[in-house]
Structure 1
Amino acid sequence: MRTTTLAGSGAEFGVVGLGCMGMSWGYDQLGRDDDISVSVIHRAIDLGCVLIDTADQYGPFTNEELVGRALRGRRDEVVLATKGGLVVDDPETFASHRDGRPEHMRKALEESLRRLGTDHVDLYQLHRIDPDVPVEETWGAMAEFVEEGKAGAIGLSEASVAEIRRAQAVHPVASVQTELSLWSREPLQDGVFAHCAEQGIAFISYSPLGRGFLSGKVSSSGDLPEVDGRHRTPRFQPEAIAANQAVVEPAHRIAERLGVTVPQVSLAWVLAQGENVAVIPGTKTLRYLEENAGAADLVLPKDALDELDALPAPVGTRY
């Protein structure tokens, strides 16, 4: 599998990783099977999808415990990434608040390490910047984690160019994790992606399949599990789902033309944006994991890229 690296750390990983959130949080709350999820993580490692991404928020906490269980005896084979800085207020509604205080980040990392069963993570990310705490203060505390060997590198999630620059003035930013997909192109439009490319910062795309919509398997709200957080999001309301078929239909045509799948087309488009890009699609099934991994080396022809670049904007906001 083609690889990329974390800026400044030397950690190398396949451009298709594994987002573990959905195994414990957010999607299909009745369909959880930790044993299957462990097998998916093991197979991901075998396939070269070694960037394993989690967060203390997911569950909360249970996803890190699951990942820690899966990595027993295989910790050295992965680039392990987790996040802190979002505190869950209500697991049923997913309501959370931001806490970027240095003392909170230190406690959060220590507890993440305990749950993950390791003495360090390869990438520790600020899940969201706390508007009540200067990013320099949060980032300075996280830089101490690198100095102490508890984090190989540190990254940001959902940050603006100005915020990235402020953090860079304190300590190198190894990665920026932000949603990027065929229906979420904000990083290409607001300068974040260009800044990361110029600075050699790894760009990690979460939800590269549009929370499953860009798999081509969601044509109505009835296609979602009964207990699923997507029912609360604007883009998954019935009228929006119907309108947003215009975003995914061209991917269907291209996939049929190339003899690949719609998810592979969707992931390949994200990966085509630059050499510093990695995607972390989430899945709980071996079939879809292997399908996603197959996108790593799919090169879309120019006519397909042009058609995908011209897709209409989606109906509904991300959150």
Structure 2
Amino acid sequence: MTTTRRLGRSGIEVSAIGMGCWAIGGPLWGDGGQPFGWGEVDDAESIRTIHAALDAGVTLFDTASNYGAGHSERVLGRALAGRRDRVVIATKFGNRSDEATRQWIDTDASPAYAVRSLEESLRRLGTDHVDLYQLHINDLPVPAALDLVDTLEDLVTQGKIGAYGWSTDHPDSAEAFAAAGPHCAAIQHDQSLLADNAAMLAVCDGHDLASLNRGPLAMGLLTGSTRAVGADDVRGRAPEWLVWFTDGRPTPQWAARVEQVRAALTADGRTLAQGALGWLLARSPRTVPIPGARTVAQATENFATLALGPLGDDAFAEVERLLADLRPAHAG
């Protein structure tokens, strides 16, 4: 069974499922006390979790400069010390935050900040290069994104990044960005069986890009968990875009849809989460889900999907039948 995929036109080979490192960053706060993190974390357990992911065959780790105001990068760097040559590191830029106060400040899409943010990320990660460097402002106007391309190409030439991409849910934005520079290799976007962005996958096909799937488990909804989350968790005070949770609990209508597809996803003995990740692997040869994990148990469950592989054709078709016309529309 193939357990690796290609990171678009970069040619970089990565595990077919990566580990998202947002949750291990710990708290981050926005304006008005809005939580942007996943609550308090145990760094020692986070490091054990990263090692468990490595043991399961994960080679791609996705983080960002503002996850925990840089804390995620620091923890990832510690966990990968002595193992850097075994992994592919993806990070992001564009959000400024204060590491001392864990406070988000604002966004900065200037080329100068892209260079400065990279240097700061490299220090926190303890490495001399990142393999994939991603713009982290979803709704940035296309002209401002295109202003970054020459700088990003220069960073590739210098060997400080291997390739670059954009974390955006807008297919038109992704298409313009991919067409502007030869080393654009990936688009990171919201993608799960509950939120299928077919237009973005078509852009990835057209430009030979990897589709990095953030939110592959719908922020935990597709794990079947029903426990309430705390006020320091982004799901506890969900922003407008986070439809899966209301007041810290799964939104009833979306929880009901998960129950509709549970049997199809678990028919071959998978857990619900493994079925949801298997659906993504079956959706397209370009998809690379990046579920988060902050405990060894979560890593063990999620990344066992590498051995299980894509969901079978019959189960995939059944999920599609059950969810027809029920998914939210993506902005385009």
The equivalent residue for 1:11 is: 12
In the TM superposition, what is the alpha-carbon distance from 1:45 to its structure 2 partner? 1.5
Residues 68-107 of structure 1, C-alpha deviations (whole Å, 9 max, x = no match): 1111101111001100012248999975633211011110
CA displacement, residues 233-257 of structure 1 (integer Å, 9 cap, x when unaligned): 2431159611212221033222443
- Work out the number of aligned pairs and report it: 311
* d(CA) in 1 for partners of 2:208, 2:264: 31
Of 190, 193, 206, which residue of structure 2 is paired with 1:198?
Answer: 206
TM-score, normalized by length of structure 1? Answer: 0.89
RMSD of aligned Cα (Å)? 2.6
CA deviations over 1:146-197 (Å, ceiling 9, x no partner): 0110001111111533323332343122000001012222x21xx2111102
For structure 2, the 5+ residue unaligned runs are 27-35
Further displaced range: 197-206 or 127-136 = 127-136
Give the superposition deviation at 1:2.
1.4
Residue 313 of structure 1 is matched in structure 2 by 326
Q: CA separation of 1:41/1:107 partners in 2, compared to 1, >3 Å: closer, same or farther?
A: same
Deviation at 1:120, TM superposition (A): 0.4
- Sort the Cα spacing of 1:237 and 1:113 in 2 relative to 1 into closer, same or farther, 3 A: same
**Matched position secondary structure for 2:89:** strand
Distance of 2:102 and 2:53 partners within structure 1: 30
Q: Does 1:121 align with 2:134?
A: no
**Which of 292, 297, 300 matches 1:290?**
300
Q: Is the 8 A contact 2:142 2:177 kept in 1?
A: no
2:288 to 275, 278, 296: 278
Taking the TM superposition and a 5 Å limit, the aligned residue runs for 1:52-91 are 52-88=61-97
Equivalent residue for 1:301?
312
Residue segments in structure 1 that go unaligned for 5+ positions in a row: none
Q: Name the aligned partner's letter for residue 23 of structure 1.
A: I
Letter in 2 for 1:143: E
Q: Percent identity?
A: 34
Deviations 1:221-240 (A, max 9, x none): x5324531102224311596
Contact 1:59–1:91 (CA under 8 A) maintained in structure 2? no
| Distance of aligned partners of 1:91 and 1:265 in 2 relative to their CA distance in 1, 3 Å threshold | farther
Distance (whole Å) between structure 2 residues aligned to residue 294 and residue 251 of structure 1: 20
1:143 aligns with 2:153: yes
